[in-house]
Each structure stands twice: as C-alpha cells, then as structure tokens.
Structure 1
Amino acid sequence: MEEIRQALLDFKKSGKFIIAYADTYTQGLYYLSSVADKILLNPKGMIEWKGLAAQPIFYKELLEKIGVEMQVFKVGTYKSAVEPYIATEMSNANREQINVYLHSIWNHILTEVAKSRQTDIKQLNQAADQMLMFHPAETCIQYGLVDTLIYKNDVRSFLKKQMELEEDENLPTLGLKAMINLQQSQPKDKSGNIIAVYYATGEIVDFATESPLLSNNEPVINANKVISDLKKLKDDNDVKAVVLRVNSPGGSAYASEQIWYAVSELKKEKPVIVSMGDYAASGGYYISCNADTIVAQPTTLTGSIGIFGMFPNTKRLTDKLGINFDVVKTNTYADFGSMGRGMNEGEKSLMQMYVNQGYDLFITRCANGRLMTKEAIDRVGQGRVWTGSNALELGLVDVLGGLDTAIEIAIRKAAVEGYTLVNYPKQSSFLSTLLETDPSAYLSRKLLTGKAGELYETFQMLNHWDCYDPLQARIPFDLNIQ
C-alpha cells in the first residue's frame, strides 16, 4: 500500500492530476486515494474510516473442552504468538505492544492523509469516531474527506471537463495491461550488469510440502529453495547486488538460521540490501538482520525478536475417546514428544533450555548484523513487535522507504552505471502449478476456507502440527489489523 501511494505521489510531481472514484472506499483504499487531486464518491456510497483495531482470537477454553493442553516454552515478555492457546485475553505486555504499534501506524496514516487533504489530524480523528459509513455521503464532504458526490456514469464527463475536452470528444485511456506491456517493451541495458530483486514472501518453512494452490494461494519461504537460489546469485558474476524483499511473519527458527547463513555468504561477494514489506518480523527479521542495509516502511511490522515452542498434550482427549498408550523404551527420553501424555519436569527443563539457546543465537545474529551488543538487542527484543518508524529509532533498520529506495541503495553500493533489474525467483506458470495440484484436495481446501473464514489458518496450524519446527520465530498466527 505504501509503495503504491508513494508511486502516485511521484506521478503527481510530473504536473499531471489524479482523480479517485469509488462507490465504497475501504479504509485502505481511502488512504491510497487520499493523494488524489479530487476524490469522488457515489451519492449513496460510503467511506470506511474508523481507525485501527487488532482482535486476537483465543482458543484456550475450546482446547480445554476437547481435552487438549498446550505446553508452552518461550523467551520474550512480548512473545505473544502462544497466548491464544494458553490464555483467554491479552497479557498486559501484549496489550501494551499492540497499543503502541497500532497508534504508530494510525498516526502515520493520519499525518499523510492530513497532508494530502490539507486538513488537520483532529478533524480526521473526529470523522473516524463518527463511523461515517452509517451517515449520508454528504457528511464525508463536511469532514473534508471527499470533494464531489457523483454517480459512476457521470465520471467520464467529469474527467472530460478536467481535461478541457468537449462532451462528444473521446476520452483517451490507458489500462493497466497496456501500461505493463509498455514497461516491458522498454529497451534493455546492454552492460550485462544485473541488480537482482529476490522476493521472500510468506511463512518460513524447512521445505514446501504443498503446491501454492493447496495452501490457499498463500506463498511460503521454502528454505531449501531460497538457499539454492541465493547461492546461484552469489556465483553469478553478472549479478552486482541483491535486494532481498522480505514480507514474512517468520516461521521455523531452524529454517531462518539456514537462510541467515545463505544471506551472510552472499554478502561476502556482493551488496545485500533488505527491503521490508508489510511485515518482516521474528524469523523475517532473522533472515534480514545481516544485510548491508535494511530499508523498511514506516508502517512495516518488524522486530519480534523472540523464540517459542509448543507441544500439545492430548491425554484428556484420548482418555475421553477410550484410547490408551503403552510404551517400551531403551532410554529415558526415547518417547519424548508423545502427544498421549504431558511432559515431565525433566522434559520441560530440556525444552526450555532448547528455547533459551535458540533465543541466544537469535540475538547474537542480530547483534553482529546490526553492530550492537547482545544486551542492547535483548532490550528491544523480548519478542516485541515494532513499526518501521520505531525500529529506525532503535537501530533495527537503517532507512525508511520502499523497494525503490532499496534498489537505489543497491545500485549505489554496486557502483554500476548501466544495469538491468531482474526479479527472482522465476514464477511458475498457472498451468504448471495447476497440473501439480490434486483437484479434490484443492476443492476441499476452498470449501473449508469458505466455512471457517478467519479461523482457517488456525485450523491448518492445528491440523498439521506435526509438520512444524519445534522452535518457532514468528508473530501470532492470526494477527489481523483492521
């Protein structure tokens, strides 16, 4: 969203105007449209302008009813990903961190909209408190959010007047597809130099177990593939610098460490610049921390430097179902991890030690990458999520900006005059992805998604618990800001 908004602002510098029209503006769409010279709204339309809220879902009582107990091990006062499974409400620490980053994001939105609309933040907050979507569209004009109420059929005539065209003259238009084709037809640089932009998007996993279609079109960062791809970029002499575009909530701590190493090896050969998207938190920050430069948007969610592990104890559930377990073992911990019983104190102690070691390694990587002490990283770590603006003040990122900013830094560090931007990894065609997909499983997934809605991701997590790395470096599974 920030990238597109900035691109629109850059477009306006050319002296051309922007007109925005919608029957209904969601809050995000309005933020994007606020850069326009004129904002048009259908007379019976509405604007969803209401502020931000984060509402975690808690499953502890549900799990208790079915006889499942989550055994949790973590480091980090603010590491809240485990809370939905062991609590019925937010901890004070989690409430504090969410309150801080929500207000940081909202204040950024207010500041930018106020600047574009030439109004003040107080009035925008008053408008949000009125819940404008339930008021007549004229109210949006009174609060300065909209310039004109107009039906969709009359928009072309409005545009003709703006361009000083007669009503019977054709309105020249250029669609998105034509603009993409125009960009692709631009002459290529002949220097042979490549600035690689590598997209790392989704949850970090040791290996991809499913087709993207089977995972509800949600991409994953497959550590094995990323490591292989980064090695190819390292060995390619034509590649002069790499921009690693990270958009990830984190995931497997083990996989994050392996990618961190691949990034570190790449950095020995050529500049590596990280560009953070909407979020690059926990494992997403882990794989970013050793870059030459880290670029984040003001609203990026990052940090969350912490580790946790969870093991379900299904003893009460299996007792209810009449399922019994017996064991023969050669050594003390041979049956460690059995879901049919709770962990004993020795096992719990070992697991917490394992988590502590993971956290110590995490803050060591961050300290070395950011040229800070482990103690300093620990103070801003503890699993706490920060916005990009906060992270800049704390030394966790270097520059505020988007992908274009990161590319400019990469070009400067590579010291090249001519270059070609090349995106990686190469995308599979829809047809090849479709041919690799089990249709019955895909349809089942779609049906479940429709029925479960926002609970679907949690269902997936519980359903495939045995596939998860025992150590996780990630933000909450169902973090959803609206």
Structure 2
Amino acid sequence: MKQFFKFVLATVVGILLSTIIIILVIVGIIAAAGSDKDVVVDANSILHIDIKYPIAERTANNPLANLSFLGFDGDKSIGLKDILANIKKAKTDDNIKGIFLDESYMLSGQATTEEIRNALIDFKKSDKFIIAYSEIYTQGFYYLASVADKVYINPKGFIEFSGFSSQVTFLKGALDKLGIEAQIIKVGTYKSAVEPLVLTKMSDANRMQVTSYLGSLYDHFLTGIAKSRGINKDSLFNYANQMRIKEPQDALKYKLVDGLKYKDELLDELKERLKIKKTDDISAVEIAEYTKSTDEDIKSVSSNSIAVVYASGDIAGGTGDDNSIGSETISKALRKVRLNKKIKAVVLRVNSPGGSSLASDVIWREVMLTKKVKPIIVSMGDVAASGGYYISCAADSIFAQPNTITGSIGIFAILPNMQKLFNDKLGVTFDGVKTGKFADLGNTSRPLTPEERAILQSEINHGYDDFTKAVATGRHKTQTYINSIGQGRVWTGAQAVKIGLVDRLGNIDDAIKAAAKKAGLKDYKLVAYPEQKSVLNKLGASFSADVKTRILQSELGENYKVYEQIKNVTTMMRTPLMRMEYDVVVK
C-alpha cells in the first residue's frame, strides 16, 4: 500500500509539473505575441545581417522563438521572403545608411544564397554601403560577401576557398551487417537516390552527372566572384586548385578581401561611415526584427491579386507542415486561388527534392486545372527535382536560378528483404496461409519472386511513362526527347534552360512580374498561400518536434545527418517515389 501511494504521489507531481510547464509556455507565447510591435529604426542606422541557420522560404510562426528556457535560446530565424523584402525596404529607408554582413554560415542551398546576393547587388544601387566581416568565411558566405564594398577578415581567421565537392553517404555495408537487402525497382540510368542502399560507391553514370552539375555550379560561383571582385575567373580557379588561400594574408594578397581587421577596427570603420564619434554606439537593427512578417493577410484579397503558393520540402500525402509539402494542403491552396475570381494569376514557389509519386500527381493535377483558368508561373528555389519538377512542369512558364538543382525525371521503389535479419540475426521465423499467389506481395520477411519483381517493375515503368508524358505535354516536347534528357538525370538551372526544362533564369520577383504581365496587371496585391497556422494551433506538434530534434542534434552532433538519412530510407521503403539524391552535400 505504501508503494501504491508513492506511485500515485509521483504521478500527481508529474502531472502538476507538466501542467505548469505547458502553462508557462502558453503564457510566454501570449506575452511574446502581445509584445510583437513594429521596430522603430533610429536615424543613421545600419541593417545587421547575421544568418547562422537554414533559411526557409517563409518565416515560420514559431511559438518558441521568443522563449528562453527549457533549453531554448529564443533565437529568431527569418525566411527568405522576409530577408529579400527587408533588404528591398532598406534600400529606400532614409534611416538605413548601409548593411553590415556579419559572420554568417549560409547553411541553405546555393539558389537561396543567390537570391540574397542579387538583392544586395540591387541594394547597392542606392549608393549605400555594404561591409562584410567574418573570422571564418565559408565558401557560401564568401560568395554572398563578395558583393560588399569592403570585405574584411580577422587577421587570425580562416577563409575556405578550395572548390566544390559532393559527398554521398553509402549505407549498403551497414545493411549487409544487419542482414537487410534493399530490393530496388526503378527507371532511369541516373536515378541515383537508391545507390547508397545497394552500392558502396558512386556508379559511373552518377559520377558523370554529378561531375557535370557540380562543374556548372562551380563555374557560376567563380563567375560571380570574378565579376564582383574584379579578379580573372581562371585566376580564381587556380587559387582554389592550388590551395593558395591558406591564411588571411593570402586572401589579402590575391584580393579576395580588402583588409585584415579585428572586430574593434571594423566597428571603428562603421562609425566613420556613419560619421559618429568612436565613443558613440552604433545604431543597428537586426534583419529578423526590421519588419514584421511581410505575408499579406489572406483574407484581404484585392480585386487584382497574385497568389504566391509556397511548396517547400519533401512531398507526401496529407497536410504536411512548415518543412514538408502535404498534397492535401497544397492542392487545397491551389483550388482556393483557382476559384477566387479576385486572384488573377498564381506563382508556385517550389523548393523540393520530390517524394511520393502519388502525392506529386495529386498536386500536378491541381496545377493543370489552375492553368486552364488563369496564368500560373513556377519559381524554383534551391531544388525542384523529381517530384518537385513534376509539380512544376505543367505551368505556363518556369523560372530558376542558375544554381537551382532540377530535373531528375525518374521514379523508383524500394522494398526491403529482411529475411537474414529475422532468421539469422534475431532467430525469428514466419509462416502463414494466403488465398492467392500474390496476396502477400510486399512481405518484407522474404525476397521478391521473379514474378513479383516483374509486377512492380511494370508499375514503375507505367509511372515513368506518366512522368515523361506529363513533362512532354507541359514543355511542348516529344516524349522521346524528354526520355533522352530524363532517366533520372540531375541538371542545374543554367543547364536546364539550354535543354528546355526551364524557360528563364530569374528569381521569384521575376516570376511574379511574368505572372502579372501574362494576366495583364499593372497594379496588384500579393497574397501568400497556404495560410500559416497560428501560434497556438502549432504549439503541441511544434513544441514536441523541436524538443526531439534538439535532443538528437545535441547527442549525435555531425552524425545527425546520417540519422536523417537512415530515417529517410525507412520512409522511402513504402511507395513509388519521384525523388532525387536525398543526402548530397555540396561544400
């Protein structure tokens, strides 16, 4: 009885503590929401850009952003949409005298960096200054910083300038040790997303395609730096190829930077540019706080509106979330804008490596229907490949950045055979009855029979035929031609324009202008879809997911990426997929 009361007491205390924590979180969120006022920008200020987190397409309604307990630091992140809007606003804001680019890591894709870089180039037309400073320059941040009027590095710092590499983690050895065979059914010589499960190194076809698109990305990278820094592109290639930039002094010698400064010296220069005393404080506004979210109120649609529908993340069935594309959510958003007579055109912003072939087809159908009643233009972000390209191909026009990853027109399925794991490793056996020859097709406790494999291959072939037919129709090409550039091959945006998968190189603003022109609009309002969930609606799922992610990242460190890849493998072993390489790291 004594133990029983101890158990009851412990349970009650646990419930009370959990309730208190939940109440504190809710109170913190309400307090944060109530204090979310417009930021007052003082005269003679600088816009401080310090980005050390992956950049999403839109700023999330994060219920934990303003909290600083339970292991959360309260840091705010800002989406690409708001970063671009804030830089554009700063260009004409008399209170902003310049931009300070400060120690950023640029963890997002190259096309995202490209959009921010282009916004900074446009900002310079105002004759306001841009100063970049860092103790450590990654290649991504240096590419961004190279547009600055002055680029400085700490005298004891480090600058990475050695060229691009692409690395894939192969899991076949681990699966062999576990007694798991990945049974692959696919179409596409270059459809290499399955290779980590069945090979221990890159296939010749995959090595060729990666060499091709990596070379295209690197050429664009060098071309941009050469233009902004006034250095010959071939010289830049040699600097990297011969590893000449080993110390900050080398970067200065070869004109990659303009000077070596400690932070105090950098701050003194900023004060000089602002024409204030060295003893005065610099007035600065953080990029994340410069404005509230620039999303328009979905309910306040004007008679001439253009809808921007954001489709970001892996494609799956259901509702999805801020980091994935749910076919139901995106389809609903497309139906909503299609039926709204006040919305005259649609821009579909795609940033996705693909995912479920079924979910991709559901979204493609809505794009097709929308195209019949109003213009729909696609703007591609970092990646719009495989299923991400499938949902794009029906649009009136497609815009991409030169370093967008696209194409990967192919399809595959994975069915694990875990017989050795069960029988030899675990000592588990199975037996049963069935009413038909193929009643247990998909059973993971045994290998596929030749007939079963033929059935699945036929389904995958049919899916690939549908894919290439959809692309051929949308791009006004023959299916034979699409098959020749398909086969799962990955292309950059620059390459995709040449082969007809993309119409023009440009950013999301270019796509919006094209949509307005096609709809015959001169004055219009932008509205964003899908509508983001409110803070309170997201609380439960967001809080638990954030806690889980932080714990895993803390425990696994750099190995967290491997964990994510293994998790993706289990997800892929369920349904036919239109997806490109799921863990290709370019650095």
User: TM (normalized to structure 2)?
Assistant: 0.76
Inter-CA distance 312–449: structure 2 relative to 1 (3 Å threshold): farther
Shift in Å, 1:127? 2.6
Equivalent of residue 469 in structure 2, options 364, 385, 405 = 364
SS state of the match for residue 40, structure 1? Answer: strand
- After the TM superposition, which residues 77-476 of structure 1 pair with which residues of structure 2 at under 5 Å, given as runs? 77-131=189-243, 135-167=246-278, 171-177=282-288, 179-181=290-292, 192-208=303-319, 219-320=323-424, 321-436=426-541, 439=544, 443-450=547-554, 451=556, 452-464=559-571, 468-469=574-575, 471-476=576-581
Shift in Å, 1:442? 5.4
SS state of the match for residue 340, structure 1? Answer: coil
Q: Contact conserved, 2:151 with 2:257, CA < 8 A, in 1?
A: yes
Inter-CA distance 194–64: structure 2 relative to 1 (3 Å threshold): same
| Greater relative contact order, per chain length (Cα 8 Å cut-off, separation 6+) | 1
Q: Deviations over 1:272-314 (max 9, x none)?
A: 0000000000000000001001000000000000011110000
Task: Return the alpha-carbon distance in structure 1 between the equivalents of residues 210 and 420 of structure 2.
Answer: 34
Inter-CA distance 445–306: structure 2 relative to 1 (3 Å threshold): same
Q: Contact conserved, 1:48 with 1:131, CA < 8 A, in 2?
A: no
Corresponding residue number in structure 2 for 1:215:
none
Gaps of 5+ in 1: 213-217
Shift in Å, 1:106? 0.4
Q: Contact conserved, 1:246 with 1:275, CA < 8 A, in 2?
A: yes
Task: Return the alpha-carbon distance in structure 2 between the equivalents of residues 106 and 61 of structure 1.
Answer: 31
Q: Contact conserved, 1:283 with 1:473, CA < 8 A, in 2?
A: yes
* Residue 56 (str. 1) matches residue 161 (str. 2): no
* Residue 19 (str. 1) matches residue 131 (str. 2): yes
Task: Return the alpha-carbon distance in structure 2 between the equivalents of residues 231 and 314 of structure 1.
Answer: 42
Alpha-carbon RMSD across the aligned residues, in angstroms, is 2.2
Task: Return the alpha-carbon distance in structure 2 between the equivalents of residues 330 and 190 of structure 1.
Answer: 57
Inter-CA distance 139–444: structure 2 relative to 1 (3 Å threshold): same
Paired residues in the alignment total: 469
Task: Return the alpha-carbon distance in structure 2 between the equivalents of residues 477 and 317 of structure 1.
Answer: 25
Shift in Å, 1:41? 1.1
Inter-CA distance 414–380: structure 2 relative to 1 (3 Å threshold): same
Q: Deviations over 1:69-122 (max 9, x none)?
A: 011111111100111111111111000000000010000000010000000112
Q: Deviations over 1:310-368 (max 9, x none)?
A: 10000111112111111211111001000010010100111111110000000000000
Counterpart residue identity of residue 34, structure 1: S
Shift in Å, 1:177? 4.5
* Residue 31 (str. 1) matches residue 135 (str. 2): no
Counterpart residue identity of residue 136, structure 1: E
SS state of the match for residue 7, structure 1? Answer: helix
Task: Return the alpha-carbon distance in structure 1 between the equivalents of residues 301 and 360 of structure 2.
Answer: 37
Q: Contact conserved, 1:223 with 1:259, CA < 8 A, in 2?
A: yes
Inter-CA distance 90–177: structure 2 relative to 1 (3 Å threshold): closer
Gaps of 5+ in 2: 1-112
Task: Return the alpha-carbon distance in structure 1 between the equivalents of residues 330 and 244 of structure 2.
Answer: 46
Shift in Å, 1:130? 4.8
Q: Deviations over 1:434-482 (max 9, x none)?
A: 223573x75444433441321022221244456x32x110101212211
Q: Contact conserved, 2:302 with 2:342, CA < 8 A, in 1?
A: no
Corresponding residue number in structure 2 for 1:70:
182
SS state of the match for residue 136, structure 2? Answer: strand
Q: Deviations over 1:383-412 (max 9, x none)?
A: 000000000000000000111110110111
Q: Contact conserved, 2:301 with 2:343, CA < 8 A, in 1?
A: no
Counterpart residue identity of residue 480, structure 1: V
Shift in Å, 1:42? 1.2
Identity %: 45
Task: Return the alpha-carbon distance in structure 1 between the equivalents of residues 536 and 164 of structure 2.
Answer: 39
Counterpart residue identity of residue 143, structure 1: Y
Of 135-144 and 285-294, deviating more is 135-144
Task: Return the alpha-carbon distance in structure 2 between the equivalents of residues 379 and 29 of structure 1.
Answer: 37
Counterpart residue identity of residue 128, structure 1: A
Task: Return the alpha-carbon distance in structure 1 between the equivalents of residues 327 and 159 of structure 2.
Answer: 42
Inter-CA distance 449–163: structure 2 relative to 1 (3 Å threshold): closer
